[in-house]
Amino acid sequence: MREPEMGLTFEKVWAMFQETDRKFKETDRKFKETDRKISKLGSRIGDLVEEMIVPNILEKFGKLGYIFGKVAPNVRYSDSRGLYVAEVDILLENGDAALAVEVKAKLTDNDVRDHLRRMEKLRRYADEHHDRRKLLGAVAGAIASEEVKAFAVKSGFFVLEQSGDTIRISVPENFKPRE
Protein backbone atom coordinates (compact mmCIF):
# COMPACT_ATOMS: atom_id res chain seq x y z
CA MET A 1 0.00 0.00 0.00
CA ARG A 2 1.32 3.46 -1.03
CA GLU A 3 1.75 6.27 1.38
CA PRO A 4 -0.40 9.27 0.49
CA GLU A 5 1.59 12.13 -1.07
CA MET A 6 1.85 15.31 0.91
CA GLY A 7 0.98 18.58 -0.80
CA LEU A 8 3.58 21.00 -1.95
CA THR A 9 6.36 21.63 0.48
CA PHE A 10 9.01 24.31 0.48
CA GLU A 11 11.59 21.71 -0.51
CA LYS A 12 9.50 20.55 -3.50
CA VAL A 13 8.85 24.11 -4.69
CA TRP A 14 12.55 24.99 -4.25
CA ALA A 15 13.56 21.90 -6.25
CA MET A 16 11.14 22.87 -9.04
CA PHE A 17 12.59 26.41 -9.16
CA GLN A 18 16.11 25.02 -9.32
CA GLU A 19 15.16 22.63 -12.14
CA THR A 20 13.42 25.44 -14.05
CA ASP A 21 16.48 27.67 -13.59
CA ARG A 22 18.74 24.87 -14.86
CA LYS A 23 16.54 24.41 -17.94
CA PHE A 24 16.51 28.18 -18.66
CA LYS A 25 20.30 28.30 -18.41
CA GLU A 26 20.66 25.30 -20.72
CA THR A 27 18.24 26.83 -23.24
CA ASP A 28 20.09 30.15 -23.08
CA ARG A 29 23.41 28.35 -23.65
CA LYS A 30 21.94 26.58 -26.70
CA PHE A 31 20.59 29.86 -28.13
CA LYS A 32 23.98 31.54 -27.68
CA GLU A 33 25.75 28.63 -29.35
CA THR A 34 23.30 28.76 -32.27
CA ASP A 35 23.80 32.54 -32.60
CA ARG A 36 27.57 32.02 -32.61
CA LYS A 37 27.31 29.38 -35.34
CA ILE A 38 25.01 31.54 -37.47
CA SER A 39 27.31 34.54 -37.04
CA LYS A 40 30.32 32.44 -38.02
CA LEU A 41 28.46 31.13 -41.08
CA GLY A 42 27.48 34.67 -42.12
CA SER A 43 31.09 35.73 -41.77
CA ARG A 44 32.24 32.79 -43.88
CA ILE A 45 29.72 33.65 -46.60
CA GLY A 46 31.01 37.24 -46.54
CA ASP A 47 34.56 35.90 -46.90
CA LEU A 48 33.42 33.83 -49.88
CA VAL A 49 31.85 36.88 -51.53
CA GLU A 50 35.11 38.81 -50.98
CA GLU A 51 37.08 35.97 -52.57
CA MET A 52 34.80 36.14 -55.61
CA ILE A 53 35.32 39.89 -55.97
CA VAL A 54 39.02 40.47 -55.33
CA PRO A 55 40.63 38.46 -58.18
CA ASN A 56 39.46 40.67 -61.05
CA ILE A 57 38.33 43.87 -59.36
CA LEU A 58 41.30 45.90 -60.63
CA GLU A 59 40.54 44.83 -64.19
CA LYS A 60 36.83 45.65 -63.84
CA PHE A 61 37.46 49.17 -62.53
CA GLY A 62 40.25 49.63 -65.10
CA LYS A 63 37.65 49.15 -67.84
CA LEU A 64 35.74 52.06 -66.28
CA GLY A 65 38.84 54.26 -66.37
CA TYR A 66 39.88 53.81 -62.74
CA ILE A 67 43.40 52.44 -62.63
CA PHE A 68 44.27 51.21 -59.16
CA GLY A 69 47.68 49.78 -58.45
CA LYS A 70 46.93 48.26 -55.10
CA VAL A 71 44.15 46.12 -53.65
CA ALA A 72 44.05 45.14 -49.98
CA PRO A 73 41.45 43.15 -48.05
CA ASN A 74 40.33 43.93 -44.49
CA VAL A 75 42.06 47.26 -43.95
CA ARG A 76 41.64 48.56 -40.40
CA TYR A 77 42.02 52.24 -39.48
CA SER A 78 42.97 53.40 -35.98
CA ASP A 79 43.55 56.88 -34.61
CA SER A 80 46.81 58.11 -33.05
CA ARG A 81 45.82 56.53 -29.72
CA GLY A 82 45.21 53.16 -31.36
CA LEU A 83 41.44 53.43 -31.07
CA TYR A 84 39.34 51.82 -33.81
CA VAL A 85 38.05 54.21 -36.49
CA ALA A 86 36.77 51.96 -39.28
CA GLU A 87 37.42 48.80 -41.27
CA VAL A 88 37.20 48.41 -45.03
CA ASP A 89 36.52 44.99 -46.54
CA ILE A 90 38.41 45.76 -49.76
CA LEU A 91 40.48 48.88 -50.42
CA LEU A 92 41.70 49.87 -53.88
CA GLU A 93 44.32 52.63 -54.09
CA ASN A 94 46.38 54.74 -56.42
CA GLY A 95 48.01 58.16 -56.13
CA ASP A 96 44.80 60.03 -56.95
CA ALA A 97 42.02 57.98 -55.38
CA ALA A 98 41.05 55.29 -52.93
CA LEU A 99 37.95 53.15 -53.27
CA ALA A 100 36.45 51.45 -50.21
CA VAL A 101 34.28 48.40 -50.87
CA GLU A 102 31.83 47.02 -48.30
CA VAL A 103 31.00 43.35 -48.88
CA LYS A 104 27.93 41.57 -47.51
CA ALA A 105 26.37 38.19 -48.13
CA LYS A 106 22.97 39.92 -48.35
CA LEU A 107 23.17 43.64 -48.97
CA THR A 108 20.51 45.77 -47.25
CA ASP A 109 19.59 49.46 -47.07
CA ASN A 110 21.12 49.54 -43.59
CA ASP A 111 24.41 48.22 -44.97
CA VAL A 112 24.42 51.06 -47.51
CA ARG A 113 23.70 53.61 -44.75
CA ASP A 114 26.46 52.09 -42.61
CA HIS A 115 28.89 52.41 -45.51
CA LEU A 116 27.91 56.06 -45.99
CA ARG A 117 28.81 56.69 -42.33
CA ARG A 118 32.03 54.67 -42.76
CA MET A 119 32.97 56.76 -45.79
CA GLU A 120 32.45 59.95 -43.75
CA LYS A 121 34.78 58.58 -41.04
CA LEU A 122 37.34 57.62 -43.67
CA ARG A 123 37.19 61.11 -45.20
CA ARG A 124 37.80 62.69 -41.76
CA TYR A 125 40.65 60.21 -41.15
CA ALA A 126 42.20 61.01 -44.55
CA ASP A 127 41.87 64.77 -43.97
CA GLU A 128 43.53 64.47 -40.55
CA HIS A 129 46.42 62.63 -42.23
CA HIS A 130 46.67 65.17 -45.10
CA ASP A 131 45.51 62.56 -47.61
CA ARG A 132 43.71 64.60 -50.27
CA ARG A 133 42.93 61.75 -52.65
CA LYS A 134 39.40 61.29 -53.91
CA LEU A 135 37.57 58.76 -51.77
CA LEU A 136 35.09 56.60 -53.66
CA GLY A 137 32.80 53.88 -52.38
CA ALA A 138 31.29 50.64 -53.56
CA VAL A 139 29.06 47.97 -52.08
CA ALA A 140 28.92 44.31 -52.98
CA GLY A 141 26.55 41.53 -52.10
CA ALA A 142 25.89 37.99 -53.19
CA ILE A 143 22.23 38.90 -52.77
CA ALA A 144 20.86 42.41 -53.29
CA SER A 145 17.38 43.49 -54.27
CA GLU A 146 16.84 45.95 -57.10
CA GLU A 147 15.63 48.50 -54.52
CA VAL A 148 18.81 48.19 -52.45
CA LYS A 149 21.00 48.46 -55.56
CA ALA A 150 19.09 51.57 -56.65
CA PHE A 151 19.51 53.10 -53.18
CA ALA A 152 23.26 52.38 -53.27
CA VAL A 153 23.63 54.00 -56.70
CA LYS A 154 21.57 57.00 -55.54
CA SER A 155 23.95 57.23 -52.57
CA GLY A 156 26.87 57.50 -55.01
CA PHE A 157 28.23 53.98 -54.65
CA PHE A 158 29.32 51.60 -57.33
CA VAL A 159 27.40 48.33 -56.98
CA LEU A 160 29.36 45.12 -57.48
CA GLU A 161 27.22 42.11 -58.17
CA GLN A 162 27.76 38.54 -59.13
CA SER A 163 27.66 37.86 -62.84
CA GLY A 164 28.19 34.22 -63.78
CA ASP A 165 31.61 33.17 -62.55
CA THR A 166 32.75 36.72 -61.90
CA ILE A 167 31.32 40.11 -60.89
CA ARG A 168 30.12 43.08 -62.83
CA ILE A 169 29.89 46.69 -61.76
CA SER A 170 26.51 48.34 -62.24
CA VAL A 171 27.05 51.77 -63.72
CA PRO A 172 23.82 53.34 -64.94
CA GLU A 173 23.98 55.95 -67.71
CA ASN A 174 24.97 59.38 -66.34
CA PHE A 175 26.15 57.83 -63.05
CA LYS A 176 28.59 60.01 -61.14
CA PRO A 177 30.24 58.38 -58.13
CA ARG A 178 30.16 60.33 -54.92
CA GLU A 179 33.53 61.75 -53.91
**Which residues lie below 8 Å from residue 169, measured CB to CB, with a gap of 6+?**
60, 61, 64, 138, 158, 159, 160
How far is Cα 59 from Cα 87, in angstroms, rounded to an integer? 23
Q: How far is CA 77 from CA 53, 80, 178, in A?
A: 22, 10, 21
Average pLDDT, the chain: 85
pLDDT in tens, 54-109: 678 888 899 999 999 999 988 999 988 888 989 999 999 999 999 999 998 889 99
pLDDT band at residue 176 under the 50/70/90 scheme: confident
Q: Going from the N-terminus, what domains does the chain have, and what CATH number goes with each?
A: 53-170 (3.40.1350.10)
